[in-house]
A and B are shown apart, each in its own frame.
Chain A
């Protein structure tokens, strides 16, 4: 019996995320009182695009923005789900002043 592959295109989602982050942060420097707005914009752009796919999935998008000044960090995620239908992608983006990590998880209903 063929097991159906996860029903979303990972490459397409990665492109969506990179475009959302790039268009929001671009060449910005780290401005503390703008960060929350940037994060909201990135996540809303990603979620809107995902929701348009009209597939039977739930989506979780998480976004972290950090000042790129040398402090160390590490992010790990783990999951308990159906690997035939559920999956995730993590996108790292940075410029000289900002580090941004966006993770998108999709889970079949």
Chain B
């Protein structure tokens, strides 16, 4: 007799898929780009929106998303970023991807919080 176990996966968040999506978005948007203050605001908005829309299309049920994108000018100045979360570590996730070239560095972070 066959007995099937109920699906015990708590989270259906697809970490690897999200990483690949974010990497692809950054590469598409910023490869060959040169830092200019007139462009960065638009780029951060487009990158954040594209990542968010891609996350929503992944059909990962019952998640709220926050996507944060920072673009900075590469001039050798010091910068440090970090995040802390007060949440359910079994269900909630974050993914971070970076991109840099000679004039730009970009850090994109996506947070996914499960709602019950």
Interface residues of A (CB under 8 A from B): 30, 32, 35-36, 39-40, 43-44, 47, 50-51, 58-67, 69-82, 86, 88, 103, 105, 107-109
Q: Assuming the A-B contacts A72-B73, A80-B55, are A62 and B86 also in contact, with contact meaning beta carbons closer than 8 angstroms in the complex?
A: no
Chain B residues 46 to 99 lying within 8 A of chain A, measured CB to CB, are 47-49, 52, 55-56, 64-75, 77-88, 92
**A68 shortest CB reach to chain B, Å:** 8
**Is there an interface contact between A60 and B111, defined as CB atoms closer than 8 Å?**
yes
**Is there an interface contact between B86 and A107, defined as CB atoms closer than 8 Å?**
no
Across chains A and B, the number of contacting residue pairs, with CB separation under 8 Å, is 138
A-B contact pairs, 5 of them (CB 8 A): A66-B78, A74-B41, A76-B48, A80-B55, A81-B64
| Chief secondary structure at chain A's binding surface | strand
**Is there an interface contact between B66 and A64, defined as CB atoms closer than 8 Å?**
no
Alpha-carbon distance between A74 and B35 when the two chains are bound, in angstroms: 11
**A24 shortest CB reach to chain B, Å:** 13
- Taking CB as reference atom, which chain A residue is nearest B35? A72
**Is there an interface contact between A39 and B80, defined as CB atoms closer than 8 Å?**
yes
Q: How many residues of B contact A (CB 8 A)?
A: 43
Return the contact of A81 from the options B37, B66, B68, B85 (Cβ within 8 A). Answer: B66
B30 CB within 8 Å of chain A: no
Interface residues of B (CB under 8 A from A): 35, 37, 40-41, 43-45, 47-49, 52, 55-56, 64-75, 77-88, 92, 109, 111, 113, 115-116
Report chain A residues within 8 Å CB of B44. 74-76
Alpha-carbon distance between A62 and B109 when the two chains are bound, in angstroms: 10
Alpha-carbon distance between A88 and B55 when the two chains are bound, in angstroms: 20
